[in-house]
Structures are given as C-alpha cells and as structure tokens.
Structure 1
Amino acid sequence: MSPAAINPCIVVLANLSAAAEQAARYAAVLGAPQQARLELLHLYHDPLLDPELVTVTAAHTFRTQAEMAALLREQARQLGVPAEVKVSVQPLATAVQEAVCQGHPQLLVMGLSAERTLLDHLMHNQALPMLRATHRPLLLVPEGAPPPRLPRRIALAVDAEQFRLNEAAEALETLLASWQAAYTAVHVLVPGEREAYPGQRALNHLRLSGLLPATQPLELYEEAHVRPAAGVLQAIIDTQADMLVLIARPRSFLGRLFHESVTAEVLRHSMVPVLLLPARSPAQPAWMPSMT
C-alpha cells in the first residue's frame, strides 16, 4: 500500500506571495475531508545568483534559506492542518519530482498572480514544467479567487472527443468525492463538430472516463457561437461554479506553447481555481485529441 493510500498528501508550491498563501489555504480546505497532510515546497535560489527567478517566486528582499524556512513554517502553522515545509535548491522539475517520489501526493497546487505578464511567466516556467515532469493533477488558484471553501458546484469542460485520464488523475476520484459537490459538464460547440448531439457525446465520454462515480448526478451546459474559452468562462458564471476542471491532453496542452491554447485563455481570466487533469499519453490506448 502506497503512502498516499494511508495518509493523502497535497504538495503546494510555496513562497511569501499573496497568490501562494491563497493557494496554501485552498489546499488546506480541500484536503480537510480526507485529513490530507500538506507539504509546502519552496524553491530557494540566492538572489545574488539568480535575481530574475527570485523576483517571481520569492520575496523582493533578500532572505537566507533559513529565514525563508522559518517564515514558511509560521505560514504553515496558521493553516490549521498538518503541514510540513521543505526548501529545495534544486531546479523546479527536479524538486517537484523528488516531492512526488517521497510524498506520493494526490494533488499539486500553485497560486497564480493577477498580473498578466507574471501569470504567463509562472505558467511557462512553473505550471507547464510541473505537468510535464510529474503528469500529476495540478490545481491553479488565482490570486483574486474567493475565500477558500469546499466547492459546491464544479464545472467540467469537455469536448466531444473521447479521453482517458492517466493513473494519477484517476486516483483523484476519492478526493473529489470527499467534497460532495454537484457537477456540470460544460460543452462549447466549435466549428467542425458535425456529429449529432455533440454535447451528449461529451457527457457520455465524461461518464466513461471514470472520473466520477456512475451514480453521480451530472448536468449538461452547452454554449454555441462563441469562442471555446469565452464559452467556458461564461459557463462558470452561469452555473455559479466554485471550481473548473480541464483535461490536459499531452499533444494539445503539454506539447504546445501555452499562449496558443484554449486552456491558457481560460486561466488568464478565470476567477475560480482551475484543476488540470492529465490524460494518457499518445502511446497509451484510448487517447484522443482535444480542442484545448
């Protein structure tokens, strides 16, 4: 039995920014029903050696590694759940891979700055490398998101193509079930979808993915004559969703430039946390392309 099966773990990319603190608070709330332990992972780089990275990921004033660890431990104590601080001097991909191997986390979490250029920097240099390195579910929490609470309604954006989640995403089912949220499948009709009832196809593919229990009630929300990202963002408002789920397919999201994808546009404007669930790679069966 893996450590995750005994004591679920959530890894949060931590620093002293408001966005990172917000992400840690969300992780604490979302993990509470399963009594998940949190690991706050901070990537420490000496400002004298790597000033550009530090201005993005840490405080704007110089602090030693020990000072950063102490400040983050104080932040962890305020979360009200078991939380451990780990400071790494390794590059992002290496540090996160080590955290995954040691803690077997169900979920990775990071905050997103409200500043447009900084958000793009974080996505290119942190979120995408984390997905590529680990293929683990990744929750992205906007700095301006509402105060953390267990989600009451979750919107799942899906297209009419079949997909199959990877093993790590499938394992997230127990965490999602612990939230006891209602779910809405969101489908945006895009040019070229000529099959009959594409929304129902999307709904069926979501059912077949195994992400939700077979008995889970699932509503369908459809949009047409709008760009996919605009339709998804409108669905969040119309359904009053607290969280959005997107499928991260290897060819369309991990393999393309961030700024070219529908996922990118949604993340730039979403005011609710976005959960990216990796699908299986092209080499594995049951993988299909996506609009994202």
Structure 2
Amino acid sequence: MQPCFVVFVDLSAGAARAAHYAALLGAPRQVRLELVNVCQAPMLSSELAFVPMPYVDRLQTEADAALQELAEGLPTAAGASVLMPPLADAVQQAITRFHPLLLAMGLSAEPDLLDQLLHNQALPVLRATHRPLLLVPEAGPPPEMPRRVLVAVDGEHFILGEAALALAPLLASWKATFSVVHVRPALDGAAEQADQYTRVGEPLRQLLPLATAPQLYNDDDPAATILRARAELQADLLILIARPRSFLGRLFHHSVTAQVLRGCAVPVLLLPAHGPGVPDWMPSMS
C-alpha cells in the first residue's frame, strides 16, 4: 500500500501552506496526500431547529470545489475528501479509510485562534489517534525540505509506539542533519545529565538516522530553552515527544509542548509516546 499523509484543511492560506509542506516531506518516499476538510455547518440561531438540506448541499459542493483546486495545485498526488461529522468522528473516519503515516494541519499566527486550534483540534486529534501530528505555522519562509532537524528530549524515559517508529524510513529519506537537545533542570550536574540521556536516548536510536552528539541545556524553563536551542542550531523542523500526561493531560495550556508551539517559527512534528509499562492508549490521570 502506498504510504499516505492526511492533511486536515479548512481552505485557508495556512491550511494550503501545511498541505504544500506535507507534500514536500513525503516526496522522497512517494507519499500520497489525502486532504480532508471537516465541513461544519455554522451555528444557527435558536429560532431555527434544523439546517435546510439545500444549504448543506451547497456548502459541501463549494468545499468540494475549493478542495479539488488545492489538491490539483500540489506537487504530488493528492486526494480530497469533505467530511461532515464532528471533528472527532471525522478524524476516526480518515484514519480508518486512509491508514496515514501521520496527520498534519496548519497553525494560526493569531494567539486566540492558535490556542483554540491547539485545544479544540490538535489535542483531540492526538487523544483520538496517538498518531504523529505535524503542525505547520502559517507565517514564515516558504516551505522547503528540512535541512536541520532538532529533536528535543528531557530526562524522563519514554517509549515510542509503532506509529512513531514507522516514520524512521521517512526521516532517513530527507537527508537532513539531525541534532538532539537534552533539556534538564539547572540543578543537575553534567555527568548525571549524560547518564540520563543514555537512558532516555535509546528510543531515538530506533527512529533517527545518525545524529550528532546530544547537546545538553541546563535551564528551569524548558519551553524557552527548546526555542533557544532551535534558533541557535538554525533548525528548520522541530520534533517533540508528546506524553499523555503532559500534552494530552488536562493541564494542556501549562504544558511545555503547548508553550513551544505558541513560540515556534518552524513546523513541529509531535510524536506521541508513553512511559515504560504503560500502553500509549492509556489516558493520563494527571
């Protein structure tokens, strides 16, 4: 079966940018794109008890035409689908139909819209699928193949599931330089940090092509440290490990992942992971 990415689009400029970037990333492995527009009827006034069917039909027809136009403008083969159910159901339908390697969507530059997308779309997608999720900011330089990829890890052990490890051939096909930044609190000594990275870095050896030696960053503000490392290393793609209790937990807006996404100028690839002995489908209680 030909590998596939599913890109959730809303027909905005940011969504088109995400689709073009996903097409570039998948080109070396001849990945097919499936553009999925989750078409929701707008909220109606309380006086109306139903959505007139002609209106719904017209809404879907217009979305179909715009989606086909976007698909035809991409540098790779792309299908297009308009799904009408709520987001969670539409995501599951797309997973069942296309079996994608990863999911992708655009990120708004507006803080309020960004928070809304992260909390109401990105978070449910990760919760529902535990698949890698590529988030592409709508602002920034034109999309191009990554040349320098930064992977950020902390001191906690994690296990990558099959969905994340399945990306290893794709990452190797980019011919990019991969660097690893190991972020630890400033209180930890260098020797202890090196030992901790030896333990937590094992899962990365199953995922990454040959990477440079990890750079150790001491800081009590992990999000700011990751963003600083990204800028210093001039990375054009950032990979983060998303644990259930951090990114998928109730304290989403306080998580390191959320803070990094709000301040990152380059695309971010989130890889869901879980701790030893804990299935990656198990929800967090924290």
- Establish whether TM, by shorter chain, passes 0.5: yes
Q: 2:21·2:144 contact (CA, 8 Å) conserved in 1?
A: yes
What is the Cα deviation at residue 13 of structure 1? 0.6
| Conservation of the 8 A alpha-carbon contact between 1:28 and 1:79 | yes
Please report how far the alpha carbon of residue 75 of structure 1 lies from its aligned counterpart in structure 2 after TM superposition: 0.8
Q: Name the CA distance, whole Å, in 2 between partners of 1:156 and 1:134.
A: 22
| Distance in 2 (alpha carbons) for counterparts of 1:244 and 1:236 | 7
CA separation of 1:252 and 1:194: change in aligned 2, threshold 3 A: farther
**1:154 and 1:241 in contact (8 A); partners too:** yes
Aligned AA (1:160) = G
Q: Is the 8 A contact 1:160 1:199 kept in 2?
A: no
- Structure 1, unmatched stretches of 5+, are 1-5, 51-62, 288-292
* Distance across 2 between alignment mates of 1:174 and 1:106: 11
| Counterpart residue number, 1:57 | none
| Aligned partners of 1:250 and 1:282 also within 8 Å | no
Equivalent of 1:109 in 104, 107, 117? 104
Identity in percent: 53
- Match of 1:231? 225
TM-aligned CA deviation for residue 204 of structure 1: 4.9
State the Cα deviation string for residues 168-209 of structure 1 (Å, max 9, x = none). Answer: 111111111111111111122215646833145325522344
Consecutive unaligned residues in structure 2, runs of 5 or more: 46-57, 282-286
Aligned equivalent of 1:70, options 47, 65, 81: 65
Q: Is the 8 A contact 2:157 2:275 kept in 1?
A: no
TM-score (norm 2): 0.87
Counterpart Cα distance in 1 of 2:174 and 2:220: 31
Q: How does 1:111-190 map to 2 (within 5 A)?
A: 111-190=106-185
Q: Where does 1:193-208 land on structure 2 (aligned, <5 Å)?
A: 193=188, 196-199=191-194, 201-202=196-197, 204-208=199-203
C-alpha distance in structure 2 between counterparts of 1:240 and 1:124, whole Å: 28
| Aligned residues between the structures | 269
Could you give the per-residue CA deviations for residues 146-186 of structure 1, whole angstroms, max 9, x where no partner exists? 21111111110001221110111111111111111111111
- Counterpart of 1:196 in 2: which secondary structure? helix
Q: Which amino acid aligns with 2:216?
A: E
Distance 1:140 1:227 in 2: 22
Distance 2:115 2:186 in 1: 28
TM-score by length of structure 1 reads 0.86
Q: 1:103, CA displacement in angstroms?
A: 0.8
Could you say if the C-alpha distance between residues 65 and 219 of structure 1 is closer, same or farther in structure 2, counting changes exceeding 3 Å? same
Q: Give secondary structure in 1 for the equivalent of 2:154.
A: coil
User: Aligned to 1:32, which of 21, 27, 31?
Assistant: 27
Instruction: Pick from 252, 261, 273 the counterpart of residue 255 of structure 2.
Output: 261
Deviations 1:58-83 (A, max 9, x none): xxxxx611111101110110002111
Whose Rg is larger?
2
Letter in 2 for 1:218: T
87 and 198 in structure 1: CA distance in 2 versus 1, 3 angstrom threshold:
same
